[in-house]
Structure formats: C-alpha cells, structure tokens
Structure 1
Amino acid sequence: MTPDNLTKQLAFIKEIDKLKYVQRRTKLFNSDRCENSAEHSWHLAVMAIVLAEHANEPINILKVIKMVLVHDVVEIDAGDTFIYDTEKNHENTEEERLGAQRIFGLLPENTAAELLEIWEEFEAGKTPEAKFARAMDRLEPLLQNSSNNGGTWKEPGVHYDKVFAKKSVIKEGAKTLWTYAKTLIEDGVKKGFLRKNPAE
C-alpha cells in the first residue's frame, strides 16, 4: 500500500462521516426522532444478514452488505429524496450519479471503480443481490411506519396505491417478506393510518 493510497482512503472515510447528518423523513421505531442515512444503511446491513434466508435466489451476502452500506453515500451531495415525493424522482437522478462519481472518486482507482459498480448495480436492481438489497431498503421504513402510528404515511399525497406500488419491489428480492409486508400495509389501512384511495 502506498502512502498516497492511504491518504485517499482516509479522505473518503472522513467524507462519508457527513452521511450521519443527512436526515430522513422516517422515524426510529416507536420514536419521534428521524433517523439519519448512516443509521438507515447500518440497519439494512444487519437486516440483510439476519433475513438472507428469505432471498428468492442464492445471494452473495457480502456483496449485499456492501450495497446497502454504500447505496446512500450519494446523499451527501444529493440529499435524501422522500420516496413519496411528488415533484422529484426518488431514483436514478443525475445529481446522485455525480455524487457517486465525486465521493467514490476520492478513493484509490480500483476501490473507487468497485464501489461505483456496486452502487450502479444496486440502482439497476437486476441481479439477485441488488433485488434483495432493494427489498431491505423498502422493508425497513415500512416496519418503522407500522411502529409509529403510520409515520410518513400520514403526509399529504401518500395513499395506499402509492405505498403498495413502491413497496412491491420487496417481492422481487424476497417473496416471503413481501407477504409479510402486505399484512402491515393492510393493517395500516384498518387502523386508519393509510388511506385506501386518494380521495379519502
């Protein structure tokens, strides 16, 4: 390892500390405090380890862990876009891509290329690992909203159809978890936390 490599690695490590300051809309379980994106990423990594047996296909769990740990690093530059935002697309924004290139670009060339490739694989959502990682990403806030009397489901413009459509990504990576997720969504409707249609 060259001194130059270490300098670049440490620069990246210092830069990603900023992810701890990026606030998400969802709140911690049974809490009024919003989580930050670093907490979210850590939670997904542990979820992936614990829930790996529910993946639809065999997966490389280390690759999944890498995906969920770096998937939101771009939010240092782009910020967190609310999944139900009606004005800004939640996925694959040019702002995020530029952030990925800048932040991963702080690393030595080989590591930068690896993490950028992993980030792009997650965003594309085509491989078994990406599908499972994205299932974790959609499941965690669903569990949070369920524990917080509806949480972000109560915000304007969020209704059953939109939640169901966004969360259905879970079934691509873990059908068992999607079956469970649907019960939480329906329970949210029964409890009045989630509107069944936009007009309600």
Structure 2
Amino acid sequence: MALNQSALSPQYTPSPFHHSTNPPRFQRPSLKLPFLCIDHPNLVVGRAQINKSGSEDIVSDPNIDGFGPKKAFQCDGDEGASSSSAIDFLTLCHSLKTTKRKGWINHGIEGPESIADHMYRMALMSLIAGDNSGVNRERCIKLALVHDIAEAIVGDITPSDGVPKVEKSRMEQAALNEMCKVLGGGMRADEIQELWAEYENNSSIEANLVKDFDKVEMILQALEYETEHGMVLDEFFVSTAGKFQTDIGKSWAAEIISRRKSSLTS
C-alpha cells in the first residue's frame, strides 16, 4: 500500500517507534501461522434468540455483519465457522499482548509495555478527551485499537531496523490482509481495513487526533520510565517536539513536558 506522503509534515522526523529511511536490514517475520490457511466459506454470525420454550437458539443476523441470509444453528458443541474465525483472530492478536515495544527494549527498560498496553491507553485517551466539534470519539477509540494491529504479525518495527516508511506500510498492509482473512472477511474485516488505512494516511480529523495520542502516550510512558528507573529519555521528547496536530495533543503534551521539567529540577 503506497503511503500518502501529503499527510506528513515536510519537517517529519521519525520517532524512536517509527521507521527510518535507511537501507532495509530488517528480516520480515514468517507469516506461516496456523490461522492463515483457514478458509471460512460458510461463515455465519450468530446472536441469541429466546424461543417459545424459554431456551436460546443462535440465529445468524445479516444486520450484524452482512454475512448473508439468516440461518439458524444450534450451539451444541459445534459453534460454527463464525465462532472459529473469531477465536482464530483473537488468538492471533494475543501476540499484541506479549510483544514488547522495541523502543523501550533498545533503551534497556526492564519489563516494558506491550503493543496492546500502548493501544489500550490510547483508547482511554480517546474516551476521556473533551468533546470537539466534528470529532467522532467512538471512531477515535476504534482507530486507537486498530492502528498497530498488524504488528501482531510483523512485530514492532523501529528505526533501528532500517525499514523505509513505504516498505513498512506495505508489510503491515499485507499482514492486515492476512488477519482479515482469518477473521473471515465481511463488514467487520472491511471496517478494520478502513480504520487502519485512515490512520495510516492521516486522512481525517479523528486520525489527526489519534496520531497525536500515539505521541502523547509515548512521551507519557517515557516520563513514567524516567521516574521509575532514574534515567533520562530525551530522544522520545525531541522526536515529537512540534509534531502535534491538534489542540488536545498540544495541551496534553505541554502538561507532560511541564511535569517532566519539574521532576528534573526537583
């Protein structure tokens, strides 16, 4: 997927968690996962429906995910393809919980945050941010939860890996395509693809805000690690300086920097 370069500032400087433009040295991980060869030709999405006897049947609902006409099936040990694909997808996403953010590993942080940790706090930022005219907070939460999801397969690629920005985007798009196949396609997979592309291309005001939250979360985590480990992590603050696009991003970053200055002088 070609990157929308117009979305980047002319003064763009990669952060420690973003790729550089050096010649590639990164070895792409294998995509040979057990989930990636699974086909779901008869995917059915279910919802509970109470029948006359008071028990529950599971009935597919095309209004939920657009997977076709209603077709009832019993949840009697055979959950159907939809349950299978959902659990395959969630199992694949498990690596987001266990893969540590490489920027912190490279700086010797013990027990650093995972990719999922980072995305979760970004989602919380989207939840608690004040109302802004024209900004859909629910979409911001979704963007935060999806923006690094392809790292479940490709891992956390950083400047030290020497992967150009366009190549990183291509790798992540390929990984995302595989993940959406695991999910079984359909409206939810399409939504994930759309959200990821929106964030990647910085193509909406919601993407602008969530990109700011990406940086805000990083410098807040840097401040927390400085406090916990008694170290100085200037690189993370320098790489984000002047890069915030929204008033909320600028305000929250200024608060973090102010607290950092106070802690460094105390």
User: What range is the shorter-chain TM-score in?
Assistant: 0.7 to 0.9
Give the Cα separation in 2 of the matches to 1:93 and 1:152. 31
1:6 paired with 2:83, answer: yes
1:103 maps to what in 2?
179
| Structure 2 residue matching 1:77: 3-state secondary structure | helix
Change (3 A) 1:46 1:90: farther
2:162 equivalent in structure 1: 87
Once the two structures are TM-superposed, the CA of residue 105 in structure 1 deviates from its matched residue by 2.0
Deviation at 1:179, TM superposition (A): 3.5
Question: What's 1:22 paired with?
Answer: 99
Q: Which amino acid aligns with 2:233?
A: W
Label 1:90 to 1:141 Cα distance change in 2 as closer, same or farther (>3 A). Answer: farther
Q: Partner of 2:250 in structure 1?
A: 178
Q: Which amino acid aligns with 1:47?
A: M
Q: Report what 1:70 is aligned to.
A: 146
What TM-score comes out, normalization by structure 2 length?
0.57
- 2:23 is aligned to none
Q: Which amino acid aligns with 1:96?
A: E
RMSD over aligned Cα atoms: 3.0
Q: Specify which of 50, 53, 72 is matched with residue 128 of structure 2.
A: 50
Aligned residue number for residue 138 of structure 1: 215
Question: Counterparts of 1:106 and 1:86 in 2: how far apart (Å)?
Answer: 28
Measured after TM superposition, the shift of residue 14 of structure 1 is 1.4
* Alpha-carbon distance in 2 for matches of 1:26, 1:47: 21
Deviation at 1:10, TM superposition (A): 1.8
Q: Which runs of 5+ in 2 are unaligned?
A: 1-43, 46-79
Shift of 1:188: 5.5
Counterpart position of 2:41: none
Contact 1:60/1:129 (8 A) holds in 2? yes
User: What 5-or-longer segments of structure 1 have no aligned partner?
Assistant: 193-200
Higher helix share: 1
Query: Aligned partners of 1:88 and 1:152: how far apart in 2?
Result: 26
Q: Which runs of 4 or more aligned residues in structure 1 lie more than 6 Å from their structure 2 counterparts after TM superposition?
A: none
Indicate how the Cα distance of structure 1 residues 124 and 87 shifts in structure 2: closer, same or farther if over 3 A, else same.
Answer: same
Counterpart residue type for residue 5 of structure 1: S
* TM-score w.r.t. length of structure 1: 0.74
Shift of 1:126: 1.7
Amino-acid identity (%): 20
SS of structure 2 residue aligned to 1:34:
coil
C-alpha distance in 2, partners of 1:100/1:152?
35
Aligned AA (1:98): A
Work out the CA distance in 2 between the residues paired with 1:102 and 1:152. Answer: 39
**1:12/1:107 contact within 8 Å kept:** yes
Compare 58-67 and 174-183 and name the one that shifted more.
Answer: 174-183
Pair 18,161 (structure 1): closer, same or farther in 2 beyond 3 Å? closer
Give the Cα–Cα distance (whole angstroms) in 1 for the partners of residues 120 and 258 of structure 2.
28
Aligned residues: 178
CA contact (8 A) 1:52 1:61 kept: no
For residues 138-174 of structure 1, the C-alpha deviation after alignment (integer angstroms, 9 at most, x for no partner) is 10011111233286835xxx38653315xx1x3x2x3
**Is the 8 Å Cα contact of residues 219 and 237 (structure 2) preserved in structure 1?**
no
